[in-house]
Amino acid sequence: MSEIKPWPVPQKPAELAENRLIEAILTNVFPVNSYLPPERELAVLLGVTRPTLREALQRLARDGWIEIHHGRSTRVRDYWREGNLLILSAITRNMKILPDDFVPHLLQVRVLLAPEYTRLAIHNSPSDVIRLLESIQNLPDTSAEFTRADLHLHTRLTILSRNPVFTLIFNGFSDLYSVMGQRYFSIDQTRDHSRSFYKKLLSAALSNDSFLAEEVTRNVMKESSDLWNLYQGEFDTPENT
């Protein structure tokens, strides 16, 4: 008998309503600074009861998507300016409707964060970083293996930096990282680029030179961002997704 896999847990009505509203906001069905329809009408549109809708709206207000004022219409907030990390987490869960410039913006943030957590990791735990880097020097030449290894590397570097905020931020993007990594590493040049990075970073770690590691990481993160922009059209083709 073949192994029986567990069936996916169905979404609760409030979660379903919440996700449908987030999708409607991200796709400009309900644009920033617009007002949601009255509760009765919105509940019918979403196919939920009004108590369920209210629960979903409270969640969205808590996370920064909307602004509720009793007796007045509910406003869609400018989530890019008024939002928080919960907004970012929700956006990454809606990968099929990501804004076009979201990944380039995210890569710019990585240019700022990765050099610092890498420097701290080598400063605080050089032997652990060395073992980690030695384990990925001869990866199988596949997109899946590079994605898995690169995600593990950066996750471990944030942990070894001993600043848990880095890890919390990085974990918030891990699902998106896995999907985008498969696309990014589908190109030979990007895998070669990361192989070179792992070797340079290992050399810096063996020298216990955390500032050299910081410089190497900064340069490579910038180059990775450039490679994403260069090959983005090829990443989006059916054979690479």
Residue by residue, DSSP assigns 77-136 as P-HHHH--HHHHHHHHH-GGG--TTHHHHHHHHHHHHHHHHHHHHHHH-HHHHHHHHHTT
Please write the tens of the pLDDT for every residue from 178-237.
889 999 999 999 999 999 999 999 999 999 999 999 999 999 999 999 999 888 877 654
Residue ranges covered by each domain of the chain? 13-93, 100-240
Taking alpha carbons only, the member of 190, 93, 176, 95 closest to residue 143 is: 190
Residue 67 dihedral angles phi and psi, to the nearest 5°: -125, 115
Mean pLDDT of the chain: 90
CATH architecture classification, 13-93: Orthogonal Bundle (1.10)
CATH of domain 100-240: 1.20.120.530
pTM of the predicted model as reported, rounded to 2 decimal places: 0.79
Lowest mean pLDDT among 99-108, 109-118, 192-201, 216-225: 99-108
